[in-house]
Structure 1
Amino acid sequence: MLSSVHRPVHIGRSRAKSGLAAMLVLACTATTACSVANSDSAGDAGDAGDSLRIVLAQEPPTLEPCEASLTSTGVVTRSNISEPLIERDPTTGELEPLLATEWEQDSDTEWTLQVRDDVTFHDGAEFTAEDAAFSIDRAVNSTLACNVEGYVFGDDDLGIEVVDDTTLTITTARPDPILPLRLSFIEVVPRTTSTEAKVREPIGTGPYAVASWETGVSINLQRHDDYWGEAPDFGRVRYVWRSESSVRAAMIATDEADIATALNPEDATEENSLPYPNNETTALRLDGTQAPLDDLRVRKAIGLAVDRHGIVDALFDGLAQPAAQLVPEGVVGYNPELTAAPADPEAARALVEEAADDGVPVDREITLIARNDMFPRVAETAEALQYQLAEIGLQVKIQMADTAAHLEYQLRPFPEDVGPVALLIMHGNQAGDAGFTTSQYLISDGPQSTFGTDALDEQVAEADEALDDERQDAFAEVFAEQNESVAQYAHLAHMQGLLGISPRVSYEPNSATGDEMRLADIRSQR
């Protein structure tokens, strides 16, 4: 449970170290090539001894710490190059000290934090409370438009005051019982960092420093010898990226990579990969401002028509759980009473017919928009949904989009004059608290919400000021009310990821792995 007052705690580094994971590798066979074209930039076998070799699905757009809540940036940056003041354990959900040693709530709107006095940045500068205050101000109060500002803090600025070298106070505009959790998203940088522009190769306090970044080729990290915590096993880390899952899997097989992210089910075996829950939930977001989706009966009919169990079994290879809400188990606010019932096309068809009898234009074509490569077999999933909705009397066309085009529909301001849209989304709650989901996806003017109701908006606002068990119960009721009276979402599945892993390393992936792969938790087996 989250607590508004964090009692003084042991200030030593308290990250739980990975237990031994299965040490697995895909052997070369007569049908599997033993080298991968264009993969030599991952480092050859002779380079493997003190280097950890990771192949990603895409090149990070930036390593800027204030953008670390972006998955493709955070998987390299977070807790590796830069570090937060407070860290959330992805398994237990507990908040743990990192650069901050303790924190305490002084009033509804004021907090005091104590920070470590034995930390240096990669450039040798000493870390103090002034750097902590600067980093918070830069990420939240500046005009840099950092992703963490909108996603985690919304529109409210923070008041920050440095008391002395190891103490700072933070004041919020309104009561915020989960401020320490929000602070876990802010990566600390030196106070000499630019406030006019985002940085490409940041300086941090983490166990690794950026050695080089050759655009389009690789990112190389070097172990920081003066790191304040326990030294990680590998002296060097090399990231490369390959868009094809089959290539990433083959690089594990040929000992050209030690870790490969985001394998597709067809490329993964028990010998070369580990499954893990990745916090992502897939759903159809229904635009309730456009007929026929502006009718609650039609939206509920879509929810009844979706065969979640069939899609999970046939298209996701069972590597998912049918979903009835936007957050998975383990997130504060998850409602265990909401279950994913089997599809009921007969009941769905009856609702559509009832709406048609009342003059709702149910024959108006709905555009189902899905993003290419959002998850394995996304196109087939869209086709299955199209078929299931046609079975209940709705007309649906599919539009596959690239990332940029999909974002136009995902984020406000939404395109106009495009007719009714059912957008296939995938939402990951990295923070473990439903407040981050509801503020984005459920309130009427949320950045990723097309509509809502005043009643649900008020319910969300009240839940966001609650704490502990009251917070859990309040958000659980929000998700139940969404399904009953709003039905903006027809949920599909809580997803799982597949991580490729070689026998020379030991690592237990967790729910944060897709967003934040902590290099200190990866152990050498040589």
Structure 2
Amino acid sequence: MLSSVRPSAQLSDPHDPPHPSRLPQPLARRPDRGRGGTALVAGLAAAGLLFTSACTVANSDTGGEVGAAGGNTLRIVLDQEPPTLEPCESSLASTGVVVRSNVTEPLIERDPTSGELRPLLATGWRQTAPTTWSLDTRPGVTFQNGQKFTAKDAAFSIDRAVNSDLACNVDGYVFDDDGVDVRATSATRLTVTTAKPDPILPLRLSFIEIVPHTTSTEAKVRKPIGTGPYAIGGWQTGVSITLDRNDTYWGEAPAYARARYVWRSEPSVRAAMITKGEADIATALDPKDATEENSVAYPNNETTALRLDGREAPLDDIRVRKAIDMAIDRQAISRTLFGELGTPAAQLVPRGVVGFNSDLTPTVPDPGAARALVKAAKADGVPVDRKITLVARNGQFPRVAETAEALQYQMAQVGLNVKILMADTAAHLQYQLRPLPENVGPIALLIMHGNQAGDAAFTASQYLLSESPQSTFGTPELDRRVAAATALSGDKRQKAFAEVIAYQNKAVAQYVHLAHMRGLLGLASSVRYKPNSATGDELRLAEVAPAEGKGR
């Protein structure tokens, strides 16, 4: 759920794509304002903010809608139609929320709360050599088309997702475009060999959904076949997707015989559908539409931040980047604009991710010190008066436009010239992903990164390296530190990545961290479901049940 920067390529997601974003936080408390809080709130009031891929598609058909709401049907309303249901693209949140662990399943699953890896279609795994892992597959499992699942299918699925020309999202985001050698050595065993030792290969494999070995390798599929508790019933483009319960499922049968997804772009409409009894679950509600009766808050895996383009003056001067960091009052923004859905952040990864640095605290706003840094940079010839464009995406998160205006105001208060550009998804991606646009001047990009994998390596590979898909610059020393941390495991890995994050903040300062976010899931009183940090990326229907005494 990489956002985001599932990191967190969500090319048509409401989150930043994790591949060329994507990206567990506690409920935000009402913090003290801290230094500068009163001034910022006055500024917000003055600004009026307080109230306010080229592959073809296999087995493609428009299909007919199967079933309708009612009876034993779970009704879900999404914020957008999935761009694809192709399993190798399921690290796109809008695809994964339908496909992952519903239609298809991985060999290994990660517990979103504890971070532990658990067996699913694999019953066990072990490292047999520095670069080789062996996995045993679960017997007695069949695909939804009746085909028997074996290690051959698992090996095929890994090879198809990572080594093929399909340009799968999971390849770039999870495997960094590095190929693997994968072989089925028997009907129930396979080996995976990497070019160099990879201590987190089992975690990477948890992102690969298993499909039959007869699946096309020439084109992405429209209606995938998997081993999950539901099978695709129909996809009526622009209208709905239906899933039917898989009566041959190897695990526990889900409570609902059918699920039906529709999509509505307006959060107020999604909230109203819950209130009016037209939907059981609704994704991505706006706080202004949410009540205790129609929604529940959950840690959505996302961190908002400003990415500063260190290639362009005046942002190429670390004093200016540090000044921006000190100019921002995260406490006031979180309290005024995010409410209980944002906690001030000091790093790109939230607590619970390997590498989270518990010693870091959000920068205390100090406009005076920030102005002094800008003044010193100007005295040395840095063109601090040059216009900086703050780019944000429409609908990126609730009250994004007001957030951009608050950031503009704070940066202006320390002597910087900032204009706002609100962009649609396609335009925002041009600024976000390499190759970055040229001749556009200095850019401060508002991003939303989600590390759904639970390891800082995925954040570093996308956002911190000099040539990362979503980084504008870096340093040789930061690259060296990331490479060294990536080769470690256990406590040493945690410590090394925590140091990487601290070094980035101190010596590179490409990012101004704003808040760790929480999401709002619409939930009708007729159903029982406990969302977790993975809910925004994979909504497991088997975990949903009718509320007591309210069976459907």
Same structural fold, with TM-score higher than 0.5 when normalized by the shorter chain: yes
Gaps of 5+ in 1: 1-40
Match of 1:118 among 137, 140, 162: 140
Query: Which of the residues 416, 421, 442 maps onto 1:394?
Result: 416
Q: Residues of 2 paired with 1:161 and 1:147: CA distance?
A: 22
Given candidates 112, 117, 122, the residue that maps to 1:90 is 112
Correspondent of 1:355 among 362, 373, 377: 377
CA distance in 2, matches of 1:158, 1:234: 38
Q: Which residue of 1 aligns with 2:288?
A: 266
1:256-297 deviations in Å (ceiling 9; x for gaps)? 100000000000011111000101000000000000000000
- Choose the corresponding residue for 1:335, options 335, 357, 375: 357
> How many Å separate the matches in 1 of 2:524 and 2:225?
30
CA distance in 1, matches of 2:312, 2:363: 27
The separation in 1 between residues aligned to 2:527 and 2:195, in whole angstroms, is: 46
**What residue is the counterpart of 2:95 in the other structure?**
73
State the match for 1:465 in structure 2. 487
CA–CA distance in structure 1, aligned partners of residues 345 and 327 of structure 2: 14
In structure 1, the partner of 2:320 is 298
Aligned match of 1:404: 426
The equivalences for 1:189-208 within 5 A come to 189-208=211-230
* 1:220 to 2:238 alignment: no
Q: What corresponds to 1:447 in structure 2?
A: 469
Aligned residue among 343, 368, 373 for 1:321: 343
What SS class does the counterpart of residue 129 from structure 2 fall into? coil
Unaligned runs of 5+ in 2: 1-64
Determine if contact 1:463/1:471 at 8 Å carries over to the other structure.
yes
Equivalent AA in structure 1 for residue 375 of structure 2 = E
Q: Which amino acid in structure 1 is aligned with residue 475 of structure 2?
A: T
Counterpart Cα distance in 1 of 2:275 and 2:224: 33
Letter in 2 for 1:62: T
Residue 117 of structure 1: how far off its partner (Å): 1.1
The letter for the 2-side match of 1:444 is S
2:195 to 147, 150, 173: 173
Do structure 1's residue 436 and structure 2's residue 458 form an aligned pair? yes
Deviation by residue 1:208-231 (Cα, 9 ceiling, x = unmatched): 000000000000000000000000
Aligned-partner Cα distance in 2 for 1:430–1:356: 41
In 1, Cα distance between the equivalents of 2:496 and 2:446? 27
Is 1:506 equivalent to 2:528 in the alignment? yes
Kindly provide the amino acid, as one letter, of the partner of residue 249 in structure 1.
A
Which letter does structure 1 place at the counterpart of 2:306?
L
Q: State the match for 1:237 in structure 2.
A: 259
Match of 1:288 in 2: 310
TM-score, structure 2 as length reference: 0.87
**DSSP-derived class of the 1:134 partner:** helix
Q: What's the offset of the Cα at 1:161?
A: 1.4
Runs of 4+ off more than 4 Å: 41-44
- Distance in 2 between the 1:327 and 1:43 partners? 41
Report the counterpart of residue 41 of structure 2 in structure 1.
Answer: none
- SS of the residue 2:184 aligns to: strand
SS at match of 1:124: coil
TM-score using structure 1 length: 0.91
Whether the aligned pair in 2 keeps the contact of 1:367 and 1:396 (CA below 8 Å) is yes
The answer to whether the 8 Å contact 2:66/2:233 transfers is no
One-letter identity of the residue aligned with 1:91: T
Residue identity matched to 2:80: Q
Amino acid at match of 1:165: A
CA distance in structure 2 between the aligned counterparts of 1:425 and 1:474, rounded to whole angstroms: 25
Greater mean deviation of Cα atoms: 261-270 or 342-351: 342-351
Q: Tell me the CA shift for residue 156 of structure 1.
A: 1.3
Q: What corresponds to 1:252 in structure 2?
A: 274
SS at structure 2 position matched to 1:315:
helix
Are positions 1:149 and 2:153 aligned together?
no
Aligned residues: 484
| Cα separation, 1, equivalents of 2:430 and 2:445 | 11
Answer yes or no: is the 8 Å Cα contact 2:293–2:525 preserved in 1.
Answer: no
C-alpha root-mean-square deviation of aligned residues, in Å? Answer: 1.1
* Distance (whole Å) between structure 2 residues aligned to residue 155 and residue 502 of structure 1: 41
Aligned to 1:102: 124
**Number of the residue aligned with 1:419:** 441
Q: 2:80: which partner in 1?
A: 58
Alpha-carbon shift at residue 342 of structure 1 (Å): 2.7
> How much has 1:155 moved relative to structure 2?
2.3
Deviation at 1:154, TM superposition (A): 0.9
Deviation at 1:248, TM superposition (A): 0.4
Name the CA distance, whole Å, in 2 between partners of 1:72 and 1:220: 15
Q: Distance in 2 between matches of 1:461 and 1:430?
A: 21
Contact 2:67 2:242 in 1 (8 A): no
Which amino acid in structure 1 is aligned with residue 474 of structure 2?
Answer: G
Aligned equivalents of 1:391 and 1:129: distance in 2?
61
Partner residue, 2:392:
370
Whichever residue aligns with residue 156 of structure 1, its letter is: D
Describe the SS at the equivalent of 1:318.
helix
What's the counterpart of residue 59 of structure 2?
A: none
Query: Using a 3 Å threshold, how does the CA distance of structure 1 residues 293 and 422 change in structure 2: closer, same or farther?
Result: same
Partners in 2 of 1:42 and 1:254 — Cα distance?
Answer: 23
Supply the distance in 1 between the matched residues of 2:190 and 2:146 (Cα, whole angstroms): 22
The residue identity in structure 1 corresponding to 2:199 is P
Shift of 1:48: 2.8
